[in-house]
Structure 1
Amino acid sequence: MAKATERTSGNAVTRYFREVRAELAKVTWPSREEAINLTVVVLAVTIALSLFLGAWDYLFSRLIAFLIQQF
């Protein structure tokens, strides 16, 4: 009984990887230039948002420190 279960699971795993490979063959992959451009956009947005959030964090921390000193 155990051998039949092992064969079924082995076939299921093999079928799964065959289907994965078939689906990956259907994917339209970006060109190298397109991937580089999108990477640059992601990095630029990440840096811009980091600077923006860092500035707000700094301003609010200074404001809170000022308010704590006053009261």
Structure 2
Amino acid sequence: MNRLDRNHSAVTPKRDGFHLDRPNGKVFGVCAGIANYFGIDPMIVRVVFAAGTIFGFGSFLLIYLAIALIAD
């Protein structure tokens, strides 16, 4: 195993653009896609979207649906 193989993890940020991650996602793969793009845990993004939906009176839900419809 060379140095590049050891440094490559399952959660690496993708710099070729944002895409939905449907195989690892729960509903549309929006939160998993955002987490993959930024290289963070998808559960953190899901908690932020849930809190934003509750405390933002549904505005994050509209953002989530817009991303789901616009992204690939």
TM-score by length of 2: 0.26
TM-score by length of 1: 0.26
Which structure has the larger Rg over C-alpha atoms?
1
